[in-house]
Amino acid sequence: MDGDILIAPSILSSDFSRLGEEIAAVDRAGADWIHLDVMDGRFVPNITFGPPVVAAVRGASARFFDAHLMIASPDAYLEGFAKAGCDGITVHAEACTHLDRTLQAIRALDCRAGVAINPATPETAIEYVLDRVDLVLVMTVNPGFGGQSFIPATLEKVRRLRAMIGARPIRLQVDGGVAPETIGAIRQAGADTFVAGSAVYRGGTEDNYRNNIDALRRSASVNKA
């Protein structure tokens, strides 16, 4: 097994009518982080949930709560997500007018700061904020929905970002279409933190979740160079 990788199930693919139980189930099944997809119907064509829901499920797991904010102009909402119990907050470079300031604000709230880029955004968009972040998220689908197919052109971006990050203590996360069939190549390109929604929550039971997470870890390790 490859001890350096983290698996972060995206609750977007869970049963929202039992959200707390679904989070506790993936925790017991071996999840490292819990990935929370926040959507506003503006930055992406879908709407999910905000800080009150995060606060309501915070007690379901002690794992790292990894908030992925797919919202326009996120500054006004950072404090709310921090107070709700998020450990890390990731904003989209495309959604921030003053990205450097927003990332500083996240760290000032004692959260780990993350920056995400869409498939069409070049890695150079975040070159000058790398010293402000703890995590870089490469979207490997267009954000907004679970269950989409991995976009192969993003692999080269992961490779370039791994080189750009160098020795900085930054996690390189991918999100979208991560499955046993794709995770090996993504790991090989240099990612270390894997969000997976449909590939974890398929099957609908805790035993399935455990098998699904194990399959992801195995496939990531086997294919590592």
Ligand X SMILES: O=C(CO)[C@@H](O)[C@H](O)COP(=O)(O)O
SS3 breakdown of the chain: % helix, strand, coil, rounded to 5?
45, 20, 35
Tell me phi and psi for residue 78, to 5 degrees.
-60, -45
Tokens for 134? 């703890």
Q: Which member of 37, 40, 66, 134 is catalytic?
A: 37
Instruction: Pick the piece of the chain touching ligand X (CB under 6 A) from 5-13, 19-27, 128-136, 211-219.
Output: 5-13
Tokens for 203? 């099957």
Element (H, E) at 33: strand 33-39
Nearest residue (beta carbon) to Fe ion = 68
Tokens for 107? 């760290």
Q: Give, as ranges, the residues between 68 and 97 that touch ligand X (CB under 6 A).
A: 68, 70
**Is 2 among the catalytic positions?**
no
The answer to whether the CB of 206 falls within 8 A of the CB of 170 is no
* ∠ Cα 196 30 148 (to 5°): 10
Q: Using the rule CB under 6 A, which residue among 51, 74, 114, 143 binds ligand X?
A: 143
Instruction: Pick the piece of the chain touching ligand X (CB under 6 A) from 15-23, 72-80, 137-145, 215-223.
Output: 137-145
Q: What does the chain come to in residues?
A: 225
Q: Using the rule CB under 6 A, which residue among 5, 7, 13, 84 binds ligand X?
A: 13
The answer to whether the CB of 184 falls within 8 A of the CB of 223 is yes
Residue nearer to Fe ion on the CB measure, 136 or 221: 136
Q: Is 98 annotated as a binding residue?
A: no
**What interhelical angle do 154-165 and 180-189 show, nearest 10?**
40
> In the complex, what is the shortest distance from the CB of residue 167 to Fe ion, in angstroms, rounded to a whole number?
27
**Is 110 among the catalytic positions?**
no
Out of Fe ion, ligand X, none, which partner does residue 174 contact, by CB within 5 to 8 A per kind?
Answer: none
Out of Fe ion, ligand X, none, which partner does residue 190 contact, by CB within 5 to 8 A per kind?
Answer: none
Q: Is 176 annotated as a binding residue?
A: yes
Q: Using the rule CB under 6 A, which residue among 121, 198, 221, 223 binds ligand X?
A: 198
Residues that bind ligand X in the complex, under the rule CB under 6 A: 10, 12-13, 35, 37, 68, 70, 141, 143-148, 175-178, 195-199
